[in-house]
Amino acid sequence: MRSWLRWSAVLCLSLMLWTVVAESSHTHPTQIDAVSCSICLAAHSASPAVSTVHGTPVFVAVELFQEEEVVAKARFDSSDRGIRGPPSTL
Protein backbone atom coordinates (compact mmCIF):
# COMPACT_ATOMS: atom_id res chain seq x y z
CA MET A 1 0.00 0.00 0.00
CA ARG A 2 1.31 3.44 -0.78
CA SER A 3 2.49 5.45 2.18
CA TRP A 4 0.45 8.57 1.32
CA LEU A 5 -2.73 6.48 1.14
CA ARG A 6 -1.99 4.91 4.51
CA TRP A 7 -1.25 8.28 6.13
CA SER A 8 -4.42 9.85 4.70
CA ALA A 9 -6.47 6.94 6.10
CA VAL A 10 -4.82 7.40 9.52
CA LEU A 11 -5.48 11.14 9.36
CA CYS A 12 -9.18 10.63 8.51
CA LEU A 13 -9.64 8.08 11.28
CA SER A 14 -7.94 10.28 13.85
CA LEU A 15 -10.09 13.27 12.83
CA MET A 16 -13.21 11.15 13.24
CA LEU A 17 -12.01 9.96 16.66
CA TRP A 18 -11.32 13.50 17.90
CA THR A 19 -14.67 14.71 16.57
CA VAL A 20 -16.51 11.95 18.44
CA VAL A 21 -14.63 12.74 21.64
CA ALA A 22 -15.31 16.47 21.30
CA GLU A 23 -19.03 16.01 20.59
CA SER A 24 -19.66 13.55 23.37
CA SER A 25 -17.69 15.28 26.10
CA HIS A 26 -18.44 19.00 25.65
CA THR A 27 -20.64 20.74 28.23
CA HIS A 28 -22.22 24.16 28.70
CA PRO A 29 -22.35 26.16 31.93
CA THR A 30 -25.86 27.47 31.22
CA GLN A 31 -28.86 26.33 29.22
CA ILE A 32 -28.70 29.50 27.10
CA ASP A 33 -25.25 28.54 25.85
CA ALA A 34 -26.52 25.10 24.90
CA VAL A 35 -29.29 26.61 22.75
CA SER A 36 -26.81 28.54 20.62
CA CYS A 37 -24.25 25.70 20.31
CA SER A 38 -24.08 24.37 16.76
CA ILE A 39 -22.92 20.93 17.90
CA CYS A 40 -25.85 20.53 20.31
CA LEU A 41 -28.27 21.85 17.73
CA ALA A 42 -27.09 19.33 15.12
CA ALA A 43 -27.10 16.45 17.60
CA HIS A 44 -30.61 17.09 18.90
CA SER A 45 -32.23 17.95 15.58
CA ALA A 46 -31.63 14.44 14.25
CA SER A 47 -33.24 12.70 17.22
CA PRO A 48 -36.89 11.77 16.62
CA ALA A 49 -39.58 13.52 18.59
CA VAL A 50 -41.50 11.33 20.99
CA SER A 51 -45.19 11.44 20.28
CA THR A 52 -47.50 8.60 21.13
CA VAL A 53 -51.24 8.47 21.16
CA HIS A 54 -52.82 5.65 23.08
CA GLY A 55 -56.45 5.04 22.34
CA THR A 56 -58.69 3.63 25.00
CA PRO A 57 -59.75 0.07 24.21
CA VAL A 58 -63.43 -0.62 23.68
CA PHE A 59 -64.71 -4.06 24.59
CA VAL A 60 -68.06 -4.94 23.06
CA ALA A 61 -69.74 -8.35 22.88
CA VAL A 62 -70.17 -9.05 19.18
CA GLU A 63 -72.10 -12.30 19.29
CA LEU A 64 -72.91 -15.04 21.74
CA PHE A 65 -70.91 -18.19 21.04
CA GLN A 66 -73.09 -21.24 20.43
CA GLU A 67 -71.29 -24.53 20.32
CA GLU A 68 -72.34 -26.97 17.62
CA GLU A 69 -71.65 -30.68 17.69
CA VAL A 70 -69.33 -31.73 14.89
CA VAL A 71 -69.49 -35.29 13.61
CA ALA A 72 -66.71 -36.48 11.35
CA LYS A 73 -67.92 -38.56 8.39
CA ALA A 74 -65.91 -41.69 7.74
CA ARG A 75 -64.81 -42.21 4.17
CA PHE A 76 -63.23 -45.10 2.37
CA ASP A 77 -59.75 -44.24 1.22
CA SER A 78 -58.61 -45.99 -1.95
CA SER A 79 -55.12 -46.54 -0.55
CA ASP A 80 -56.57 -48.74 2.24
CA ARG A 81 -57.52 -51.45 -0.27
CA GLY A 82 -53.95 -52.35 -1.20
CA ILE A 83 -52.68 -52.91 2.33
CA ARG A 84 -52.45 -56.52 3.41
CA GLY A 85 -52.17 -57.80 6.93
CA PRO A 86 -49.07 -59.14 8.63
CA PRO A 87 -47.81 -62.54 7.44
CA SER A 88 -49.13 -65.46 9.43
CA THR A 89 -46.71 -67.62 11.37
CA LEU A 90 -47.00 -71.42 11.13
Model pLDDT, residue 14: 96
Query: Any idea where the domains of the chain sit in the sequence?
Result: 1-44
Distance of alpha carbon 30 from alpha carbon 36, whole angstroms? 11
Q: What is the pLDDT of residues 53-87, one digit of tens each?
A: 788 888 888 887 778 887 777 666 655 566 666 77
- Round to whole Å and give the CA distance between 19 and 14: 9
Sign of CA dihedral 8, 9, 10, 14: positive
pTM, two decimals, is 0.39
Per-residue pLDDT of 17-65, as tens digits, reads 998 888 888 888 887 777 788 877 777 676 666 777 788 888 888 887 7
Angle formed at CA 76 by CA 72 and CA 77, multiple of 5 degrees:
110
DSSP 70-86: --PPP---GGGTT---P
Between 3-7, 12-16, 19-23, the lowest mean confidence (pLDDT) is in 19-23
Mean pLDDT along residues 7-16: 95
